Chain A
């Protein structure tokens, strides 16, 4: 199906059906990609965007892991922190942008923090509910064998929470990609998001499409990487897809 669409698009473009300065042909997009690759420029943009996503993802997921475990495991911490975090979650995250820029300047810090905020919430939510939903019956088995708190966490809570945690990390990463675009559109001199703005202001739709294409590919690749790691760790799951 995608192939048919692509071929149709190419044919219609060549026939002059689409105006090339609005929707250029796929081959024209590839041409631009080639030029940017040859000049080496593209690697710079990809590199800086990947760097921002990676750092933001790391920061957001680490904070989410700590707070999510805490609020999932301890009812006291849940009551202390969760209402606050839930109400912060209701703020559209892009609304933070002006404040972050004011606090941290327009350079890297504010961008990475914004991405981290995006990554934080889905990771936190999945983890905290994952920990809360660990089966009482399994925890009881741990108690029968007199496991201490640390052993309970390591032997039961950690593996039992892993499926929800990986789902959280994957949706966190998805939001991370979304937020890097926002951050780079809002003020950057490099990165794939910058290419979007640059393409728009200089009237080059091929550049925009190259950027979109690369976002799609990179997002897919990083998600597939996480999914692969997840499946390796969750080989034991009794799911619809697992065969015995």
Chain B
């Protein structure tokens, strides 16, 4: 279980990025955080990842306070962030570099890497260098690298926003398949409402300046979800209203760490 307890984040310039965020995520749940640029959603994800620390409040995984990146957490960023000097297999294995219980178990490492390459259909590209991959393939390598450690929580920061619409939908399907296989908790930051609706059990609408939870929506649509369903369209309307894009121009200002 993941607990976010009254987390606030104030930047050095005084900007209040997050204001008393409280959130409870059950094991295996898929939660999306949506909001306009600068609403603090990426900052929240970075705090959960242990890459930033909150000014006030705590993040707990199974009652353990997060102060630095945790082995149970996998992170997928907006860009693949592969090491250009490592091939696909080595990039995936990079995820296992410092896993405490695998320190000297070379055979187990190799087994894990091969298994995950198989699952994301990258086996035949195992020796390719990142510069030889398409954007979608590179992001699949990044997904494999995050999954190879068998995390119980997967954090995704706008993971498909740089890809074209077709690849994006493919990878969303792919992600759901992976989730059905090992059921990690997933927290997805996105500004693609349809993406959030296709994937999530719950959608958190964040509004910026200061970043606060405006609304929580339990998406009770059965899976697999069709974008053309009437219920799907209704949900989309609801979220657009909650985002209320018309007011508060401040929240549209890009603030944060891109």
Contact = CB atoms under 8 A, between A and B. Distances in A.
A159 B75 contact: no
B83 interface: yes
Interface string A136-167: 01101101111110010001100110000000
Given A137-B79, A155-B94, A144 B129 contact: no
A144 B51 contact: yes
A146 B129 contact: no
Interface in A215-244: 236-238, 242, 244
Given A141-B81, A237-B84, 17 more contacts: A137-B77, A140-B77, A143-B51, A144-B49, A146-B68, A146-B69, A151-B97, A155-B83, A156-B83, A159-B83, A160-B85, A236-B129, A236-B131, A238-B130, A238-B131, A242-B131, A244-B131
Q: How large is the interface on B (under 10, 10 to 19, 20 to 34, 35 or more residues)?
A: 20 to 34
A236 B84 contact: yes
Nearest to B131: A238
Determine the interface band of chain A, counting residues with CB < 8 A from chain B: 20 to 34
26 contacts: A137-B77, A137-B79, A137-B81, A138-B83, A140-B51, A140-B81, A141-B94, A143-B51, A143-B68, A143-B69, A144-B49, A144-B75, A145-B149, A146-B68, A146-B71, A151-B97, A155-B83, A236-B84, A236-B86, A236-B129, A236-B130, A236-B131, A237-B131, A238-B84, A238-B131, A244-B132
Interface string B74-90: 01010101011110000
Contacts of A143: 51, 68-69
Interface of B: 49, 51, 68-69, 71, 73, 75, 77, 79, 81, 83-86, 94-95, 97-98, 129-132, 149
A192 to B, nearest CB: 39
Contacts, number: 56
The 4 closest A-B pairs by CB, nearest first: A238-B131, A236-B85, A159-B85, A244-B132
Interface string A109-149: 00000000000000000000000000001101101111110
Contacts of B83: 138, 141, 155-156, 159
A208 B13 CA distance: 65
